[in-house]
Amino acid sequence: MQKMGLPEQWAFSEIYGFEEDLLAMLPQPVIAVVIAAHRLKKAEDKELGSADTEADFYMHQTGKLDNACGVIACLHAIYNNKSSIVI
């Protein structure tokens, strides 16, 4: 993402689990979390989502951007933290 303008002091790190000791290994500060999760109950998950969730930036993924969800998630993490990240 640095090649796209993300300042060097910001980076993406891998999370090995959500236990306190594993989260303590992450470089600080953490301003966003991006996960890749296999959804077993897609219809139920969709019903649980809320269109009322506030976000500064939201990009819909289309069929033309097949398998671009990771890049789109990174853009969401950056653009929804414009007060912390200056590009």
Rounded distance, CA 78 to CA 3, Å? 14
pTM for the whole thing? 0.63
- 43: helix, strand or coil: helix
Decide: 80 and 56 in contact? Cβ < 8 Å.
yes
pLDDT score of 22: 92
**pLDDT by position in tens, the chain (length 87):** 888 788 888 888 888 888 999 999 998 999 988 877 766 666 676 666 666 667 777 777 677 777 778 888 888 888 889 898 888
CA atoms within 13 A on the CB side of 83: 4
Q: What's the pLDDT at 19?
A: 93
Q: What is the pLDDT of residue 48?
A: 60
Q: Which helix (H) or strand (E) holds 21?
A: helix 20-23
